[in-house]
Structure formats: C-alpha cells, structure tokens
Amino acid sequence: MNQRDHTNGPVVGIASDNGFCSIYISKYLMNREVGFGRKVLQTLEEYGLTYEHVPSGIDDMTIILRQDQLEEQHIEEELLDRLKLVLDADEVVLERNLSLIMVVGEAMRHNVGTTARAAKALSKAKVNIEMINQGSSEVSMMFGVKAAQEKEAVQALYENFSPCLLSLSLFNQQTARSLDRQSFSSRRSECFCALKCIYFLFDFV
C-alpha cells in the first residue's frame, strides 16, 4: 500500500486574523440537556448572527463570532440577556478583542505532539492561550489569543515550525500572500488542505 510522503513535517501553513469575540455560556450539567445547542444557534439565527467556532465542554460552551456583527447592530447586552433567559444559564459572558490563529497540515494526523509543540512555543513567547480547538480530522487546530498578542504568537509558531512550512505567508488580510508553484505542485494535497482551512475560515479574497 502506498504511503503518503510527509517528510517535510506536520505543518504546512499558519494564518491569523483578528476582530473576534467570544460568548462564554456556563450551565451545570449542560451536556444532559436535550436541545441546548439548538437553542443557542437558534438565538443567534434570530439576531442574524453567524459564528466561526463552538468549542464546548461538559458544563460550558463558547461561541466565537465576528465582533463587528454586534457593534453594527448594537445588540450586545440584549443578546446576552436573551441567551441567559432562553437557556436558563448560570453565566453568560462576552469577551472582546480576540485573534484566531490556524495551524494547518495534512500530516498532523500522523504526528504525535504537534499540539504540545505549538503550545510550548506560545508559552515560551509568554502568549496566553484563551482557547484551543481541533477537529477530528486532525488537519488543523485553532488557537484563540488576545488580539494584542497576535503578532508575537504567530512569530513564535513560525519560528518553531519554520523548517516544515511552505513558502506560504498569510498573516492577516493586509499581508501579502505567496505560494511557490513548484512546492504547490509537489505537495498539492497538503497545500490544498492549508489553503482550504485558511481561505474559508478567514474569508480571504
């Protein structure tokens, strides 16, 4: 059976974007309540809001969304009160000014310790991780950090994974983007994985 070549390392792309906020919802034994997630998403739909990620635990969940949606509609307090009422939640808290950093690579699923390696790099740079999320496909992981620490976080990750990375520079929507054609041709699958995560999750055009 043919084995995929992942000799270049687990990570092929890193990207970041800012302008996010999180809504933290806490309720005891939330995991045993049927329809809890549906109520959350239905409330967001009623206000015409879209979301980016929904990390969750046994007794809490966090909704990540674009901050400007709340600012444009001036619905921050109303939304929080509505969520607390509909969900009968113990706590509903909004945190502003977050940045999301995506670390992507198809080979991550075959490498042990990639998340630990990224977390250690952020720790050495004195960047606090506000949240972390990784899908079951294991081709990408998301770190949430304070917007003020975005540059330090991305720099730390690039320095840690630089031998593995393609010529792919996607810092934010104002940063130039480059992708070496020869590298893309030889590592098409991993490049596609990186570009798909970055472009679709951060809406690059």
What pLDDT score does 163 carry? 61
The residue that leads in pLDDT, 96 or 104, is 96
115-121: long-range contacts at Cβ-Cβ below 8 A with a sequence spacing of 24 or more? 115/141, 117/160, 117/161, 118/143, 118/157, 118/160, 118/161, 120/160, 121/156, 121/157, 121/159, 121/160, 121/161
SS3 assignment, position 26: strand
Q: Which of 9-13, 139-143, 161-165 has the highest mean pLDDT?
A: 139-143
What pLDDT score does 147 carry? 94
Domains of the chain: 13-18+98-202 (3.30.70.260), 20-96 (3.30.2130.10)
CB 144 within 8 A of CB 131: yes
Per residue in 164-179, pLDDT tens?
554 344 444 443 333 3
**What is the average pLDDT score of the chain?**
78
Q: Which pTM was predicted?
A: 0.71
User: Which whole number is the average pLDDT over 141-151?
Assistant: 91
